[in-house]
Chain A
């Protein structure tokens, strides 16, 4: 059974810092990996989708990397802003299925 772990659980940084969020998964036979953002009480917004054949995906100040062999992905946020404050979740499809397995998320707070 696929398990996804996100470290750290919470993070508080001053505005302008570059930061890295970590995601690890136990079964490397994945189709892709997706990073989401969730504001309190709201739904999930897709940030980046990395296909299993890719190593990196970039969108604006966000860069996600994927290392299938080690079962790890990182989300890099450059020049953080208070508006980046949210919970960030990574998710992978279960082996042989398309249901997503999520980590518990990293709660990010960017201080102005």
Chain B
């Protein structure tokens, strides 16, 4: 059983560019959440997708957007990249019902230069 998989593992982009990160949830999970983790900090919630809709959103600007596909996989898009967007981006999957565990992928390290 594959866990949560993210791609790519590492990415280097230039300020002002756009980036797309991808996530495949754990088998059987229907909910995908995205987090941003700066060095030395805990992850910060960006948004959560369920049934192909954004259900909850953290304190992130509209430059951050996402999508969930019918197979539950998800994308995170960031437009007009800033140096401050450099971070580890984590995807988590879970089930919408019940007090279930969140499982995380290995993350995508984004560096903006």
Contact = CB atoms under 8 A, between A and B. Distances in A.
Interface of A: 4, 31-32, 34, 36, 41-46, 49, 51-52, 89, 91, 94, 97-105
B40 A102 contact: no
B105 A89 contact: no
B33 interface: yes
Given A41-B88, A44-B90, A97-B56, A105 B101 contact: no
B45 to A, nearest CB: 4
28 contacts: A4-B42, A32-B99, A41-B88, A41-B107, A42-B106, A43-B104, A43-B107, A44-B43, A44-B104, A45-B104, A46-B101, A89-B43, A91-B42, A91-B102, A94-B45, A98-B33, A98-B48, A98-B94, A98-B96, A99-B33, A99-B45, A99-B48, A100-B43, A100-B45, A100-B102, A101-B45, A104-B40, A104-B42
Contacts of A102: 42-44
B41 A46 contact: no
A46 B104 contact: yes
Given A43-B107, A46-B102, A100 B41 contact: no
Interface in B86-113: 88, 90, 92, 94, 96, 99-107, 109
A91 to B, nearest CB: 8
